[in-house]
Amino acid sequence: MLEAPGMTLSHVRRPWLLALPACAAGLVLGLGACSAAPDGEPGGGASASSTTRGSSFAEIERKVYASPRLDLPERGKLGVWDVVRNVFGSEERPSHPLGVRSRRTLVDVADERPPEDRADDKWLHPRGACAAGRWRITTASGATGLFDQGVDVDAIVRVSSGTRDSVSGTDRILGMAIKLFPAASPDQKTRTRNLVMLDAYGFEASKRWRTFHEDDGAPVHFTNVAPATSALGRFLSSFFDRFDNPNWARPLYGVANASPGGGVLLSSRAPYEIRVRPAVVAERAPADAPPTDFRAELLARTETRLEIVLQSFDGRAQAGTVIGALELGRFVVSDYCDLVLHFHHDPIQDQGTKYDHYEVVEGYEDR
């Protein structure tokens, strides 16, 4: 789960959330269409910031690139084992920041963290690099919305490390968040749609030298479906299952029900799994390659092109079909990218009634 700032849920507006589980489950399992009301939330109703707030691509892009850092900031409180220790602490205290912020990312559709939280590093995925680009779908697949053939929309992407471990040779948990802007122009304010992914290693971590390639040059994909396999990975995953179960399979209904020009579709079909990956094999990493921070590697790129692969509608193993490309410009490291930008996670479970016993953070409806 990507990390977002803290709040609890008792005062969140809930009508659309009450109808979500059946709708989301059908889409996640590839069971067919899901209806959406014109205001943009599955099952109808409105969340606090989806209809009264929005962002334009031009606005977010400007902020991402406005003040680039010349260094690689040492952000992050936690390494992998620190996360484990805090998991135990948050099990005992529902108001623990790690738990509170994990809940918030499932309900807050805003594109920015609130001002009072921006002075603090994120608990999870604290170190990142952002890039602007285009999300282009060129092949028909049966998926709808922003997966439909002919879609060509603006995107902001953040690649990040799940903990403070960001240098090759350490146990890096690398993730990617993709923010899409379904709008007729870059200046149009819109409710953004987000895909959140981990690399092919998921919770297991990787010591590889490069972000998008293995040391032997083979491409590494990022996916919205990343089940844990090791004991440590399953433990971490089970903690985040408390907030949305299964947390390792992030649903795609929000992307599939978005109309490319803004608004929503009344019926939609979402994939179960989407992957993004490099189209080409790279050279083998040098045997004496020095440890490299993934951010330094990304900053050295002038452009990046990743294939968009529809892997599955139903979760069954198959080769997948390339349906388009994610084309990115230069990456940047900035305080806005790390401390302000927020990527909403579309939930599977009804978040509105799940945490009534947790403390209330007032004022969420007014954001």
SS3 label, residue 308 = strand
Of the listed ranges 9-18, 88-97, 209-218, the least confidently predicted one is 9-18
- pLDDT at residue 169 is higher than 60: yes
pLDDT digit string, tens, across residues 198-241:
999 988 889 999 999 999 999 999 999 988 888 877 877 777 78
Write down the pLDDT at residue 215.
95
Element (H or E) spanning 103, and its range?
helix 97-104
Instruction: Count how many Cα atoms sit within 13 Å of the Cα of residue 263 in the half-sphere of its side chain.
Output: 7
Say what the pTM is: 0.81
Q: How confident is the model at residue 9 (pLDDT cuts 50, 70, 90)?
A: very low
Q: Where are the beta strands (DSSP E) in the chain?
A: 127-137, 152-161, 174-181, 193-199, 222-223, 273-278, 304-312, 321-332
Average pLDDT for the chain: 79
Rounded CA-CA distance 69/46 in Å is 37
Helix, coil or strand: residue 325 = strand
Side chain identity at 203, as an amino acid letter? Answer: F
How far, rounded to the nearest angstrom, does the alpha carbon of residue 325 sit from its chain's CA centroid? Answer: 17
CA–CA dist 170, 212 (Å, integer): 16
What residue type is assigned to position 233 of the chain? Answer: G
Cα distances (Å, whole numbers) of residue 6 to 117, 243, 299, 352: 8, 13, 30, 15
Confidence of residue 361 (pLDDT cuts 50, 70, 90): very low
In this prediction, residue 6 carries a pLDDT of 30
Least confident of 118-132, 196-210, 231-245, 319-333: 231-245
